[in-house]
Amino acid sequence: METSTFTTKVGLAQMLKGGVIMDVVTPEQAKIAEAAGAVAVMALERVPADIRKDGGVARMSDPAMIEGIIKAVTIPVMAKARIGHFVEAQILEALGVDYIDESEVLTPADEENHINKHDFKVPFVCGCRNLGEALRRIAEGAAMIRTKGEAGTGNVVEAVRHARSVLGEIRRLQSLSPDELFVAAKNLQAPYELVKHVAETGRLPVVNFAAGGIATPADAALMMQIGVDGVFVGSGIFKSGDPEKRARAIVEATTHFRDAARLAAVSRDLGPAMVGIEISTIPEAELLASRGW
Amino acid sequence: MNVGVLALQGAFVEHEAMLRRLGVNVVQVRTPAEFATVERLIIPGGESTVIGQLLATSGLLEPICERGRAGMPIWGTCAGMILLAREITEGRKAGQAQLGLMDITARRNAFGRQIDSFETDLAVPVLGPEPFHAVFIRAPQIDRVGPAAEVLATLPDGRIVAAREGHLLATAFHPELTGDDRFHRLFLTL
């Protein structure tokens, strides 16, 4: 018997496909998310919208708070570590979280190296803006990828940009001859073996979710139709007027993402969505997606 | 013959790919209309609480129960097994949807958290002498089988991880994540 193999790490993400992973900051929110149909919860102290507002250094959450959420629900619990902060990751692994998000939403701890995720038994999800970034994270041991989007804005435009970039570059690779893949790997700054795998199979070797700015059922369905495997919703739920109803609606929309009549039905009377921020009004230094490389 | 794969949430594409390799016509089932076109159904791995809720809101709970009781072959893997089970050891929360077609008792997250997920070679006599490489992910187990159900596989410590009751099949692990299609072929003979 072998525990925590790459197959079981990727496998959990495969079981999450077609689902919605929701940010929660208390055990009560975790229970609401679970009851509303979340496939997993992301335990953190402040949702990205508040991290953006409060400023300062954003770190791993208090273990007591993460444990409280682990005890509150039966679905998988994820938690965030800072980019490159492998000790935060060791602590999260010791707490028994089911997935670690090495996240640009927190303040990076290392501006050159991401965590060597092969060293861990717990699987990791990492953000990306393009295919090269996705493949570099997979080379480091990530078992799941998500677009970065621009977290805490309630604006889906960056998630769309990143998902279209990843999926478009995959399609481009498929059109190349085997002779051209070596240079393609060089240009993507990604390992040749992974580039070859993507060119041959037409997809990433791990599950690929959308994240960053998803606030409505239509946003979730948009990302699913573009071609991601599932969605993360951060600030979009508990920063809205009626979190439980909105959460249920986003879950329905992620499953029935091609059924417009259904999407119309679940989008009705949800109360106010989170306010949202136009990306161009954010000073460049405050953009989260440019963290990590 | 159309084989349906319940496509509300979870690893349904993997089952679909396995069935297609066997030359089977596969239908993704999200609606009662799609369900009406299939003769068999696989309920995939995923989160049982989520799939249960979506079964109810998608109007599929009643039709699947009805045709399952009338003899339609149904196979549940992992979360699907939990939904098929008549009882859950730790109890179902009020209002939690279930099919409850199979006379077994399932225990959710029976092996611990994600870091306890594992792979192992499993003896499955009904598939022949060759062991089956089984992938367990936050897996359930079967605590009890009813008199009509037959145990198909146990771990070395005696825990039940696969069972059959007539036209119903339950596995705690994920044959769709391996290259071994013997469970899929077994299901097509039920």
CB contact under 8 A, B135 and A7: yes
Instruction: State pTM to two decimals.
Output: 0.95
Q: Chain B partners of A1 at a C-beta cutoff of 8 Å?
A: 118-120
Domain ranges, ordered by start, for chain B: 2-189
> What is the phi/psi pair of residue A40, to 5°?
-165, 165
Considering the segment(s) B2-189 as one domain, its CATH architecture is 3-Layer(aba) Sandwich (3.40)
Contacts of residues B129-132 at CB distance under 8 Å and 24 or more positions apart, as own/partner, are B132/B175, B132/B178, B132/B180, B132/B182, B132/B183
CB contact under 8 A, B119 and A5: yes
Q: How far apart are CA B70 and CA B64, in angstroms?
A: 10
Catalytic residue among B15, B165, B174, B184: B174
Cα dihedral sign for A152, A157, A161, A163?
positive
What's the pLDDT at A129? Answer: 97
Positions of chain A with pLDDT under 50? none
CB contact under 8 A, B12 and A15: no
Non-local (6+) Cβ contacts of A222 within 8 A are: A156, A160
Instruction: State the pairing for strand pair B150-154/B118-122.
Output: unpaired
For the CA atoms of A231, A232, A235, A241, the dihedral, rounded to the nearest 10 degrees, stands at 40
Q: How many contacts does A have with B, using Cβ atoms within 8 A? A: 120
Q: Chain A partners of B78 at a C-beta cutoff of 8 Å?
A: 15
Q: Is the confidence at residue B92, as pLDDT, over 90?
A: no
Identify any residues that bridge with B102 across adjacent strands, giving them in sequence order.
B85
Q: Is the confidence at residue B96, as pLDDT, over 80?
A: no
Judge whether A236 and A24 are in contact, CB under 8 Å.
Answer: no
Residues B104-154: pLDDT tens digits? 999 999 999 999 999 999 999 999 999 999 999 999 999 999 999 999 999
Rounded mean pLDDT, B8-36: 97
CB contact under 8 A, B46 and A16: yes
Interface test with A, best of B48, B111, B117 (most A CBs within 10 A): B117
Output the CA–CA distances (angstroms, integers) from residue A92 to A40, A226, B117, in the order listed.
16, 33, 17
CB contact under 8 A, A19 and B53: no
Chain A nearest-CA residue for B107:
A74
Cα dihedral sign for A186, A190, A196, A202?
negative
Q: Say if residue A125 is exposed, middle or buried (CB neighbours under 10 Å; 0-12, 13-18, 19+).
A: buried
Q: Chain A partners of B9 at a C-beta cutoff of 8 Å?
A: 17-19, 39, 254-255
Question: B176 an active-site residue?
Answer: yes
Judge whether A13 and A6 are in contact, CB under 8 Å.
Answer: no
For the CA atoms of A125, A259, A222, A211, the dihedral, rounded to the nearest 10 degrees, stands at -20
Identify the helix (H) or strand (E) that includes residue A14.
Answer: helix A6-16
Cβ-nearest to B177 among A14, A18, A93: A14
Q: How far apart are CA B10 and CA A17, in angstroms?
A: 5
Q: What angle do CA B115, B47, B111 make, to 5 degrees?
A: 35
Q: Chain A partners of B138 at a C-beta cutoff of 8 Å?
A: 12, 15, 76, 98
Instruction: State the pairing for strand pair B160-165/B168-171.
Output: antiparallel
Confidence of residue B94 (pLDDT cuts 50, 70, 90): low
What's the pLDDT at A244? Answer: 95
Q: Is the confidence at residue B93, as pLDDT, over 80?
A: no
Judge whether A128 and A148 are in contact, CB under 8 Å.
Answer: yes
Higher local confidence (pLDDT), B60 or A1? B60
- How many residues are there in chain A? 293
